[in-house]
Amino acid sequence: MFAYSIRSIAQGLLVLVAVAFIAFSMFRFVGDPVANMLGQEATLQDRQELSERLGLNDPWPVQFAQFIGNAATGEFGVSYRQARKVSDLIKERLPATVELAVLSALVATFFGVLLGVYVAINRTGFLSNAIMSISLIGVSLPTFLIGIGLIYIFAVELRWLPSFGRGETVKIGWWSTGLLTESGRKSLIMPVLTLAFFQLTLIMRLVRSEMLEVMRADFIRFARARGLGERVIELRHALRNTLVPVVTIAGLQLGSVIAFAIVTETVFQWPGLGALFVNAVQFADVPVMAAYLMFVAAVFVITNLIVDLLYFLLDPRLRTGGRTAKGH
Amino acid sequence: MTEKPVLEVKGLTLDFATRRGTLRALDGVSFTIGRGEVLGVVGESGAGKSLTGTAIIGLVERPGRITGGEIRLNGQRIDNLPPKEMRAIRGRKIGMIFQDPLTSLNPVFRIGDQLTETLQAHLPLSKAEARQRAIELLIEVGIPAPEKRIDGYPHEFSGGMRQRVVIALALAAGPDLIIADEPTTALDVSVQAQIITLLKRLCRTRGTSVMLITHDMGVIAETADRVAVMYAGRIAEIGPVADVIRHPRHPYARGLMGAIPALDTRVKRLTQISGSMPRLDSIPKGCAFQPRCTMAIPRCSLERPELVQAGASRAACWLTNAETEVPA
Amino acid sequence: MTDTVPNPGEPSRFRRIWESDVMWSFRHSPVAIVSAFVSLVMILGAILAPLYAPQDPFNPATLNLMDGLTAPGKANEFTGKTFLLGSDSQGRDMFSAVLYGTQVSLLVGAASVLFSLVIGVFLGLMAGYVGGKTEAVIMRVADIQLSFPAILIALLIFGVARGVIPPAQQEDATLLLLILAIGLSNWAQYARTVRGSTLVEKNKEYVQAARVIGRSPLLIMLKHILPNVMGPVTVIATINLALAVIEEATLSFLGVGMPPTQPSLGTLIRVGQQFLFSGEWWILLFPALTLVILALAINLLGDWLRDALNPRLR
C-alpha cells in the first residue's frame, strides 16, 4: 500500500513539473513582460531595472526554479491585461467554477451509473433504445449548443430560469457561494445540466459496455450454474466488478470537468476560471494562462491520486500485491 | 441398472441460427446416467461435449436453441421448463463446474461469501448456519484451516485449491448430478490427479452422478464407469469404460484409442486419423466420420447409422453387425 | 479444414468486397446506410458549394444591406427577394452561408484529422516497434494528453500563437492554426491503438522474416505492419472527424476560431446567437442544425464501422 501511494505521488509530481515547464516556456517566448508592464514610453534604464528585478537576466534554470517556487505559493505575477494580481483574479473566480464543476460531476456520475446499469440490464426495450439514441445524439451535440438551447427554452420562452450569471451569492470568508440563495440555485440549474450532459453520456456508455463485458465472464456463468437469480447476479456480482474499471476512467474524466467548464461558462456568462482563461487566450495574457494551466494540472494530479486510492480499495487483488500462492 | 436413471437424454438436437443459415451443433444425442455413476464424455474440440453439458443445465446462449429431443432429470422433463423453475434446479439438482478455476470465482468477493450466498439461495439457513455449513464443505474438499481461509479472496489460493473451492460451491446444495466440463485441463499435472481423486471420493460418498467432459482419455480411464465418444455433434460409441477402451467398435473410437501410447507395449507409430472433424456448416450426409474412415462402405455416405448394440457397448456404425473384433 | 469445392472462375474483386463481412453488415444496417448517405450528401454539397450556391455570401459586392433579416421563405419588405433559409443582418443568404460554412468546417476537420493521424500513427509505430525508452516516453506523453480535454490543449496553442504572431497576420494564420491546434490535441488515440497493434504484429513471423532478410525498420513498419493496423485507425479517424468538426465549432464559438469573414459553422452559430433572443431564429438554427446532423451522421458511421470491424462481435 505504501509503495503504491509513493509511486502515484511521484508520478503526479512529475506531471506537475512537466506542465510547469510548459507554462514557464510560455512566459519566455510569448511577448515581452517588461514592455507589457511598462508600456511603450519606458526608458531603457527603466526597462533594465525592471528586468533585473524580475530576474529576467538570470540563467533559465534559476528562473524556472523561481517560477516553481512562486507557483507553489500561488504567485503568478500580474495579469497583462487587467493589471491585477493573478492570484487575486483566481481567488475571485474559483468558487464559481468549483461549485459548477462539483455539482456537474455529481449529477453526471449518479445518473450516468444509474442509466448505464439500466441500459446494460435491459438491453432491448423501448426505454433502453431511446436512452442509447439520446446518448448518441449527445456525443454529436456540442456543449455550447445544448447551453444555447436550454437558455432559449427555459429563459427566453418559458422564463423560468435566468439566462446568465450566478444570481445572488453569499460570501463565507473568501468563498462566495450561490447555493444559499434562491436566485443562486436557479442560476446553477442550466449550467450544471449543460456541463453534466456530456460527462453523463460518457459515463453511461462506459458503464454499459463494461457491464456487458463483465456479464460475459466465466464467474457469471458459474453463478448462473449455481442457481443464483439473474437480478442478484447483475446487481451484486456484475456491478461490483464493473465499478473497478469504471471508477478509474470516470474519475479521470471528471478531473477534467474544470477544463470542460470553459465552454459552459462562456455560454452562460458564468464568472468562473474558464471564462477567465478564454479571455486570456484572446489577448495572449500569459500570466493568467500559465496560472490556469497549473491549476488544471494540480486538479488533474489530485484526482488521479484519489482515483488510484479508490481503485486500491475496490480491487482486493491489489492489496496483497497481486501475488498468488504457488504450489499445492 | 434396475433403478431409474438420474439423467435421460433422448434425441437432443441443438441448432445455431447464424446469418449463414442454421448450423446443427448437436444432432440426436441420446444417453443415460445412472445414480452414483460417472459417465465420461470424450471427443475432439468442437465435437459438442461442452454444449451437451450446457444444454442439460439450461445455459445455452442465443443464437443457440434446443430444437428437438428431451432431457429428463429423475423422470421429470427439464428442457422445456420456464426460466424460473429451471433456475431452482440449477445448483440444487444439477451442478456444473468449469475449466478454469481462476475465472470461475468472482475476484472481488471472499470465498466464504460466495459459499454462503449459494447455500442461502437454495437452503433455508441463517447466516451463521450457512457459514458453518460452508466451513464443513471446505473441510470436505480438503482445504486446510478452513475457518481462516474462508475469509480469503480467490487470488490468495493456488490453482488446485481454487478448483476445490469450485467443487465445494457446486456441491453446496447437494445436487443429484454434477456436470464437470474439463475440470482438470487448466491445472498442473500433479494437481490433476488430486482433483480427480477428490471428485471420485465425493461422488461415491454422496451418491452424486457425474458427467465428466474431457478430451483426456487418461482421466476417463481412471474415473469413469461408462464413456461416450462424441463426434461432430453425435455419439459415435457409448459403453462401459473397459469395453470401449479395449474393444472399440466405431472406427473413430478405434483411432482415438490407438492414438494413446501405452506404457507396457512398444509402439512404433501412433495411429493417426487423417483429415479433421468437419465444420458445422459442412457435415457430410450419412455418417459424419465417413470421409476420414478407412473402412467406409457405400452405405456410409447415404444413411446415417444409429447406435446399435455391439458386445457390451453400442456404436453408430454400419459395420458393427458384420463385426470382427479388433485386437487391442 | 474441409476443402470447399473451388468455384469455376474466381469472383471479381468488387464482388468479393461486396460480399465480405463488412459490406454484409453495412447492407443490413439501415442506420449505416442512412448515415453514410447523409454524410456523403453533405460532404459533396459542401465541396461543390461554389457551383450551385445562390450567392457567394462572403463577397461584399454581392450583398445588399436592405436584404437583411428576412425570414425564410418570406419576401423581403424592401427588395422583394426571398431567401430559402432567410438572410442575416448583412443581407447574406443563409443557405449559401451554411454551405460555405460547412465547407470550412469540413476542411478544418479533415485536415486536422489527417494531421493527427499522420503524427499519431507514426509515433505509434515507433513506440511499438522500437520499444524501450522511446516507447515509454511516447506513451507517457500520450497518456497525459489523453486526460486533458482537447479544447484546453487547442486553446493553449492558440493563446501562445496569439502572443507570438504579429496582429497583422493573425487572421490569415487562423485556418492553419486551427488545423494545427486541433490536430495536435487529438493524436494520442491513434498512437495508443497503433502501438498496441504494432506490438502484436511485431512478433509475427512475417516481420521476423523481413528482419532476417535485412529490411530497414522503416520499410518494415510502413510496408508490413501499417496495412494490418489501418482497420482500427479508420474507425478512430471517422469518429475523430466528428469530434474535430465539433471542436472547431467550439473554438470558433468561443471567438478564437474562424473569423466572420471566412466563417465556419461555429462562427455562424456565434453570430447567430445574438439574433436568437431578438426573434431572428433562422440565423442560428440552420447552421446549428447542419452542424448537429453532420456530426451525428459521421458519428453513426464511425460507430457502425467500429462494430463491423470488431472481431469479437462477428
Average pLDDT value for residue range B23-39: 90
For chain C, say whether A217 makes contact (Cβ under 8 Å). Answer: no
DSSP letters of C74-143?
SBPTTT--B-TT-B-TT--BHHHHHHHHHHHHHHHHHHHHHHHHHHHHHHHHHHHHH-HHHHHHHHHHHH
Q: What is the pLDDT of residue C257?
A: 83
- Tell me: the pLDDT tens digits for A306-323? 888 887 787 777 776 544
- By percentage, how much of chain A surpasses pLDDT 70? 88
ipTM, 2 dp: 0.84
- Asked whether residue B39 carries a pLDDT value surpassing 90, the answer given is yes
Question: Could you give the CA distance from residue C266 to residue A263 in angstroms, rounded to a whole number?
Answer: 13
Q: Chain B residue with minimal CA distance to C1?
A: B276
Q: B251: cis peptide before it, omega within 30°?
A: no
- Asked whether residue B44 carries a pLDDT value surpassing 60, the answer given is yes
Q: Which residues of A touch B88 (CB under 8 A)?
A: 227
Q: Chain A residue with minimal CA distance to C276?
A: A152
Min CA distance, A183 vs chain C (Å)?
21
For chain C, say whether B2 makes contact (Cβ under 8 Å). Answer: no
- Indicate the burial class of A40 (C-beta count within 10 angstroms; 0-12, 13-18, 19 or more): exposed
* C2 to B278: CB separation less than 8 angstroms, yes or no: yes
Q: Residue C245: which pLDDT band, with cuts at 50, 70 and 90?
A: very high
Q: Chain A residue with minimal CA distance to B85?
A: A227
Average pLDDT value for residue range A244-272: 82
- Sequence-ordered list of residues with C-beta below 8 angstroms from that of C98, at least 6 positions apart, any chain: C85, C265, C268, C286, C287, C290
- Asked whether residue B160 carries a pLDDT value surpassing 70, the answer given is yes
Q: Strands of chain A (E only): list them.
A: 170-172, 175-177
- Asked whether residue A200 carries a pLDDT value surpassing 70, the answer given is yes
Q: Measure the CA angle with vertex B57, ends B56 and B60; round to 5°.
A: 85
Question: Could you give the CA distance from residue C107 to residue A147 in angstroms, rounded to a whole number?
Answer: 26
- Asked whether residue C175 carries a pLDDT value surpassing 90, the answer given is no
Question: Could you give the CA distance from residue A230 to residue A213 in angstroms, rounded to a whole number?
Answer: 16
Average pLDDT value for residue range B13-32: 87
Mean pLDDT, chain B, integer: 85
- Asked whether residue B322 carries a pLDDT value surpassing 90, the answer given is no
Q: Residue B285: which pLDDT band, with cuts at 50, 70 and 90?
A: confident
- Sequence-ordered list of residues with C-beta below 8 angstroms from that of B111, at least 6 positions apart, any chain: B105, B149, B150, B152, B153, B154, B157, B165
* Residue B71 φ/ψ, nearest 5 degrees: -125, 125
- Asked whether residue C114 carries a pLDDT value surpassing 90, the answer given is yes
- Tell me: the pLDDT tens digits for C164-173? 777 777 677 7
Q: What is the pLDDT of residue A156?
A: 79
Q: What is the pLDDT of residue C279?
A: 75
Strand order, beta sheet including B94-97: B94-97, B177-181, B209-213, B38-42, B226-231, B234-240, B313-315, B308-310
Q: How many residues does chain B have?
A: 328
For chain C, say whether B285 makes contact (Cβ under 8 Å). Answer: no
Closest Cα to residue A99, out of A172, A168, A179, A171?
A179
* A225 to B156: CB separation less than 8 angstroms, yes or no: no
Q: What is the pLDDT of residue A31?
A: 61
- Tell me: the pLDDT tens digits for B224-256? 999 999 988 888 899 999 888 888 888 888 888
Average pLDDT value for residue range A249-265: 80
Residues facing B310 on adjacent strands:
B313
Q: Chain B residue with minimal CA distance to A316?
A: B108
Q: What is the pLDDT of residue A322?
A: 44
- Tell me: the pLDDT tens digits for C87-113? 777 777 888 888 888 988 999 999 999
Exposure letters A141-165 (e unless 16+ CB within 10 A, then b):
bbbbbbbbbbbbebbeeeeebbbeb
Q: Which residues of C touch A136 (CB under 8 A)?
A: 296, 299-300, 303
Q: What is the pLDDT of residue A41?
A: 67
* B19 to C24: CB separation less than 8 angstroms, yes or no: yes
Maximum CA pair distance of chain A?
Answer: 87
Q: Which residues of A touch C295 (CB under 8 A)?
A: 140-142
Q: Residue C159: which pLDDT band, with cuts at 50, 70 and 90?
A: confident
Q: Which one has a higher pLDDT value, C83 or B152?
A: B152
Q: What is the pLDDT of residue B266?
A: 65
Mean pLDDT, chain C, integer: 79
Q: Chain A residue with minimal CA distance to B181?
A: A222
Question: Could you give the CA distance from residue C247 to residue C243 in angstroms, rounded to a whole number?
Answer: 6
- Asked whether residue A225 carries a pLDDT value surpassing 80, the answer given is yes
- Sequence-ordered list of residues with C-beta below 8 angstroms from that of A159, at least 6 positions apart, any chain: none
Average pLDDT value for residue range C251-279: 84
Q: Residue C77: which pLDDT band, with cuts at 50, 70 and 90?
A: low
Question: Could you give the CA distance from residue B108 to residue B117 in angstroms, rounded to a whole number?
Answer: 14
- Asked whether residue C38 carries a pLDDT value surpassing 80, the answer given is yes
Q: What is the pLDDT of residue A327?
A: 34
The CATH number of the structural domain formed by A86-272 is 1.10.3720.10
* A281 to C250: CB separation less than 8 angstroms, yes or no: no
For chain C, say whether B28 makes contact (Cβ under 8 Å). Answer: no
Min CA distance, A295 vs chain B (Å)?
36
Q: Residue C30: which pLDDT band, with cuts at 50, 70 and 90?
A: confident
Q: What is the pLDDT of residue C2?
A: 44
Query: Is B52:B12 a contact under the CB 8 Å cutoff?
Result: yes
Three-state SS for B259? coil
- The domain spans of chain A are 1-81+283-328, 86-272
Question: Could you give the CA distance from residue C255 to residue C159 in angstroms, rounded to a whole number?
Answer: 12
- By percentage, how much of chain B surpasses pLDDT 70? 93
Question: Could you give the CA distance from residue C136 to residue C83 in angstroms, rounded to a whole number?
Answer: 58
Q: Strands of chain B (E only): list them.
A: 7-18, 21-33, 38-42, 64-73, 76-77, 94-97, 177-181, 209-213, 226-231, 234-240, 308-310, 313-315
- By percentage, how much of chain B surpasses pLDDT 90? 26
Q: What is the pLDDT of residue B179?
A: 93
- Determine the residue among B50, B81, B104 to mutate to test chain A binding: the one whose Cβ has the most chain A Cβ atoms within 10 Å: B104
Q: What is the pLDDT of residue C112?
A: 93
- Asked whether residue A228 carries a pLDDT value surpassing 80, the answer given is yes
Q: What is the pLDDT of residue B1?
A: 47
Min CA distance, B57 vs chain C (Å)?
25
Q: How many residues does chain C have?
A: 314
Average pLDDT value for residue range C216-233: 77
Where is average pLDDT lowest: A41-55, A169-183, B59-73, B87-101?
A41-55
Q: What is the pLDDT of residue B267?
A: 61
CB nearest to A263's CB, from C151, C295, C303: C151
Q: What is the pLDDT of residue C1?
A: 41
Q: Which residues of A touch C291 (CB under 8 A)?
A: 142, 145
* A222 to B158: CB separation less than 8 angstroms, yes or no: no
Q: Measure the CA angle with vertex A193, ends A189 and A198; round to 5°.
A: 165
Average pLDDT value for residue range A243-254: 78
Q: Chain C residue with minimal CA distance to B278?
A: C2
Mean pLDDT, chain A, integer: 80
Residue ranges of domains in chain C, CATH in brackets: 91-313 (1.10.3720.10)
Q: Residue A282: which pLDDT band, with cuts at 50, 70 and 90?
A: confident
